[in-house]
A = this chain, B = another copy of it.
Amino acid sequence: MKALEGLKVLDLTSALNGPFCTTMLADHGADVIKFEPPAGEQCRTWGPLDEKSGESGFYAFLNRNKKGCTLNLKNEKAREMFYELVKDADAVVENYRPGVTKKLGVDYETLKKINPKIIYASGSGFGQYGPISHRPCYDIVAQSMGGMVNLTGYKDAPPVKVGPSVADHVAGIYLCVGFLLALYHREKTGEGQHVDVSMMDTIFTLLENSIVKTTMQGIIPERQGNIDPSISPFDIYPTSDGYVALGVGNDKLFRTFCDVIERPELVDDPLYLTNDLRCQNYENGLQQLITEWTKQHTKAELEEIFDEAGIPCGPVLNMKEAIEHPQIQAREMMVHMDHPTIGEMYFQGCPVKLSKTPPSIDTPAPLLGQHNQEVFHLDDETYAQLKDEGVL
């Protein structure tokens, strides 16, 4: 049994933040039915594309465990068919630009009249209200305006965005939190509601002490590369074959650290006596000294040495190394899936491990319109007719 078994979710999402939310719901057992325009949603054209079939690997990993229908919501008959499904659905999830669902007649105000218990979850760039809620948004814009880009990168160098789409993904996870909160409330009261999550808000919530530093001390934090302003040594160091991350959190561990790097005299050096002093004097001396030592070792050597010493340390892994890492493997963070046109796939698994109701990945992403007849209960003739009419 999975946690969300028996729940029916109508999925109007496309691209990334919305689908990432409904993927979690599907992995945990909800019956997620995804609706795309008859031409397919944008992310069906996003790479990597399968050479043989042209199918999108991006779409395929992101939409596993879901059923797929096509539906032209600009068509009145299509809208009526959707309303029919809303009657006994538990939730609708969407990530249109605010305002669009109203034009399409599938906004919360409309759907709650059909089913007052419906939970309606909306993901967007800037949220459902506020002066710029109408604007289009990409992950890179949300990262920039939310304040994260200015805090990432090296001092005295241009800012850099987080490589992967962190605004989209984390907004999707928050949307899942919102759905589950609303679900619990509905269990207690029978009442549905509207959940609203924005990518800009999402990024803003990840900035931790930078915010209080600004408001309490009037200091505007700037990017610091890989250094932590309040722990030292704490950095990413070059080795003979790549990079390792390393953090020495307190005086006791610093003593161990000095032994490990065979520089026991540093412990009593007045420049490095306390963590505060090490932070102050890190960039003029300590950093260089550690770097010279780490460069003489491999990543694997350093990982082993510091594991034994009980000092947090780990290599900077590339994508292949991360995929093959024994910990990722042991935790089934990569799963195999047979896709009807792509064939054998190997992609990311589920991070939320539940002892009694474990998630799992059971079915591949749907082909375009694959479940139209099943979901709408259509015989072959009616199906062909609706396709002709541009409804599906």
A: which residues have CB within 8 A of B?
1, 3-4, 16, 24, 28, 46-48, 50, 57-58, 60-62, 108, 125-133, 135-138, 140-154, 158-166, 169-170, 173-178, 180-185, 187, 191-198, 200-202, 204-217, 219-226, 228-230, 234, 236, 238, 243-247, 249, 307, 310-323, 325-328, 330-331, 333-334, 342, 345-348, 351-357
Contact = CB atoms under 8 A, between A and B. Distances in A.
Contact of A206 (B146, B169, B210, B234): B169
Contact of A316 (B136, B144, B181, B196): B144
Contacts of A177: 24, 173, 176-177, 180, 352
Contact of A153 (B50, B145, B160): B160
In the complex, the count of this chain's copies comes to 2
A182 to B, nearest CB: 6
Contact of A318 (B28, B187, B220): B220
A211 B141 contact: no
A126 B146 CA distance: 28
Contact of A322 (B145, B243, B330): B145
Contacts of A183: 180, 184
A141 to B, nearest CB: 4
B317 A208 contact: no
A157 to B, nearest CB: 8
Contact of A331 (B28, B129, B169, B328): B129
A46 B160 contact: no
A137 B327 CA distance: 14
